[in-house]
Amino acid sequence: MALDEFTRSHWYAIGRLEDVPDGGSRSTRLLGHDVVAERRAEALSIRLKADGAPLKAQERYGHVWTTLHDDPRPLYDIPEFEEKGRRLVTAGCVSVRCSGLRAVENFLDLAHFPFVHAGILGVEEQATVEQYEVEPDRNEDELWATSCKFYQPRAAATAESGQVTHYKYRVPHPFSTILYKTCPIRDDAWDLIGLFIQPVEEDLSDVHSFVLVFDEDNSDTDLLHFQQTIFLQDRFILENQVPRLLPLVPGSETPTRADASSIAYRRWLRKKGLTYGALPAIRAA
């Protein structure tokens, strides 16, 4: 499948800031192209390995970002990164043999909590997903799922007992997603957990994740272990999904009401003309 304009027009995280230290470099692969990021005298530069062509570069949200596009759409804002008192833990890159779209869709799914994250994010006795709302923002540049709630025995590294956790999900980018969940220690704030997915190939993804939370008890390493435990549980499920690409053909998989965010996500991708990492809605004859 050729690289569609919507996919090509975005910025992608290709590593943590620490992965490209001064004097160092990181070789990786983005959308089927080998790229090299390096830093000399504090200056970050990124280029295509094949012909050395320079690529745009920026550093945000604890990560190094690049794009294959000459005139990319702006990288989305995450205002919470500016808030005082939050702690950022970047969990490093984990490779998964699936389309990055599959990883976003799984992240949006509440129904898997009691089974994939049993004893942490859900319990089998309370597996019902209550109705929630999903809609695009005004310009249809983003998708939001709101008023989600779920009983969780250990919702976060700080949680010592079970609680009904409230969630919001944001999809500001076809290969990025952020969840906002009840902060166990602050009533007026949400904790953020997000995935910045680097599509290596259509069916192979490097997933960068972060935790941006209010937490006074856990060490960064405790938060890291919690996040990696959850994501590696997801990885096991993602690698067993067939096909590895995300089907955008309506009716190719059978959703239930709990899958409203998945339905909306797939519809949004179709509308944007995305084909990379997807089984297309309309196949060329």
CB of 18 to another protein, least distance (A): 7
Tokens of 253: 């998989």
Give the interface segment with another protein, choosing from 70-78, 140-148, 226-234, 272-280 (CB under 8 A).
226-234
The pairing of strands 246-247 and 278-279 is parallel
Give the interface segment with another protein, choosing from 30-38, 84-92, 99-107, 180-188 (CB under 8 A).
84-92
Give me the amino acid identity at 173. Answer: H
Reported as type and span, the H/E element at residue 80 is: none
Task: Please list every residue from 85 through 104 that binds another protein, using CB under 8 A.
Answer: 90-95, 97
**29 Rama class: left (phi>0) / alpha (psi -120 to 50) / beta:** beta
Is residue 21 at the binding interface for another protein, with CB under 8 A as the rule?
no
**Cβ distance to another protein smaller for residue 57 or 91:** 91
Query: Which residue among 139, 161, 221, 254 contacts another protein (CB under 8 A)?
Result: 221
Is residue 53 at the binding interface for another protein, with CB under 8 A as the rule?
no
Is residue 278 at the binding interface for another protein, with CB under 8 A as the rule?
no
Give the interface segment with another protein, choosing from 51-59, 124-132, 145-153, 222-230 (CB under 8 A).
222-230
Is residue 236 at the binding interface for another protein, with CB under 8 A as the rule?
yes
Query: Which residue among 170, 173, 235, 266 contacts another protein (CB under 8 A)?
Result: 235
Give me the amino acid identity at 279. Answer: L
The string of DSSP letters for 128-174 reads PPPP-EEEE-TTSS-EEEEEEEEEESS-STT--S-EEEEEEEEEEET
Task: Please list every residue from 191 through 210 that binds another protein, using CB under 8 A.
Answer: 206
**Cβ distance to another protein smaller for residue 142 or 222:** 222
Distances (CA, A) of 88 to 209, 282, 283: 11, 41, 42
Distances (CA, A) of 275 to 70, 73, 167, 261, 278: 20, 18, 29, 19, 5
Q: Which residues bind another protein (CB under 8 A)?
A: 16, 18-19, 90-95, 97, 206, 219-222, 224-225, 228-229, 231-233, 235-236, 239
